[in-house]
Structure 1
């Protein structure tokens, strides 16, 4: 059974459903955050992402799960909108 993009990015998953492979998760996260470059670190076992703010500065995220990545990326995007960075 494969999780849908919405289930992956919203954190809805049943304990009995196996986690999707990292490539599937990265595709789902990339669909949710199109301005971000997102990848899975095989050596670190973590999700990584980078995004350029309006003023050109780069911001990065490291997360141990897709849910954590979503939380951090949303927080960054919210703060960017609030501060016009």
Structure 2
């Protein structure tokens, strides 16, 4: 893994906040230690509004994924509105 420019993610966070844009960080390939930190966003100590994790949660053995979000986002979702591609799998 080769990191991008220093402060790049901090700039993304600042721009999204300035323009009221939801920042979704897809850590499917970079999360859970693959970059030397728990998450790639941890390198710059920034928090996206939504964080996506998958595949590495189960080491590719089971169909597992996760969507993590701050309260401002999660409180907009009503029960039954959130689904997943793994939702019907008996192992997931």
TM class by shorter-chain length?
under 0.3
- In the superposition, the TM-score normalised over structure 1's length comes to 0.26
Structure with larger Rg: 2
| Greater percentage in helix | 1
| Greater percentage in strand | 1
